[in-house]
Amino acid sequence: MKYAQTVPVLMYHHVSPVEGMINVGPLNFEQQLLWLKRRGYRSLTSDEFAGHLKGQPVPAKSVLITFDDGYLDNWVYAYPLLKKYGYTAIIFLVTSWINDGPLRHYLGQGELPETPSHRECEDRISQGRSDEVILRWSEIKAMQEDGVFEFHSHTHTHTRWDQNTPIEKNERMAQELALSRASLQEHLGSVSEHFCWPQGYFDADYTRLAQEAGFRYLYTTKAFGQNRAGTDPAHIYRFAVRNTSGNSVGRRIQVAAHPLIGPLFNKWKLWKRSLRTRK
């Protein structure tokens, strides 16, 4: 049996038929899952991925599927499609946005709830209407018990304290981590060592605070690197999945995992980015 040298980590936010940024339509999402299924790919759990980083073998065709923030459409569309094709995924939750309430319908259950665009979700959250666009604890527990999604921390409020209160940013981040952990412990009974940075921002101070709070596996929004055995768990690479075909995403997965093409591709992309920043 062949084992993976590199495990690509896929980053999603929304799966919804509504047009908008960082959204994948249900039809394209299903085609992406079909691409994985037809080629024998397996989705890892967070424990299996952590094991890979420690040097424990995982199948050659392995991916980790992640979702950020915890939007309602993850329940309405992503959950039933993942279950249909036998895949699991991770959601990083912003705990202050989550409310109590009954289960809402998901795909195949009749009239579906509204799943607005990302910008509309942001607007409603800022207006104190997060329950209209964010998962409820009941839905989180149902997906967790079904073994399709597992849930980890994405802070308590998703705030960029380095921009809002830069002098107090470390104190604020420490509070975010503590409140997020307390909420997950209260509602789900446990807190993992996996954590995702809000809006992708982190620095040396933030990394130290997260590690002191009990988080070991820190997920970034940086795409151009490889998650190999021995990779620093405080700097996990993920690439954003676009609203495109299964074949397109499949090519990106294959490039990300290739032992020779992957590093060359990453160097080329980083070089191109450096040219843009010099202008």
- What pLDDT digit, counting tens, does each position of 67-76 carry? 999 999 999 9
| pTM for the model | 0.97
Provide the percentage of residues in the chain whose pLDDT is more than 90: 95
User: Does residue 1 sit within a domain?
Assistant: no
* Locus of tokens 């954590």: 195
Strand-pairing partners, residue 90, are: 66, 150
Counted domains in the chain: 1
User: Does residue 4 sit within a domain?
Assistant: no
Strand-pairing partners, residue 153, are: 93, 195
User: Does residue 135 sit within a domain?
Assistant: yes
pLDDT for the residue numbered 69: 98
* Nearest one of 226, 235, 171 to 200, comparing CA atoms: 235
User: Does residue 3 sit within a domain?
Assistant: no
Residue range 118-142: mean pLDDT, rounded: 98
* Nearest one of 149, 160, 239 to 197, comparing CA atoms: 160
In this predicted structure, the answer to whether residue 94 has a pLDDT above a threshold of 70 is yes
Look up the domain containing 234 and give its range. Answer: 9-278
In this predicted structure, the answer to whether residue 276 has a pLDDT above a threshold of 90 is no
pLDDT for the residue numbered 148: 98
pLDDT for the residue numbered 84: 98
pLDDT for the residue numbered 279: 60
CATH number at residue 52: 3.20.20.370
User: Does residue 47 sit within a domain?
Assistant: yes
- What pLDDT digit, counting tens, does each position of 239-261 carry? 999 999 999 999 999 999 999 99
In this predicted structure, the answer to whether residue 223 has a pLDDT above a threshold of 90 is yes
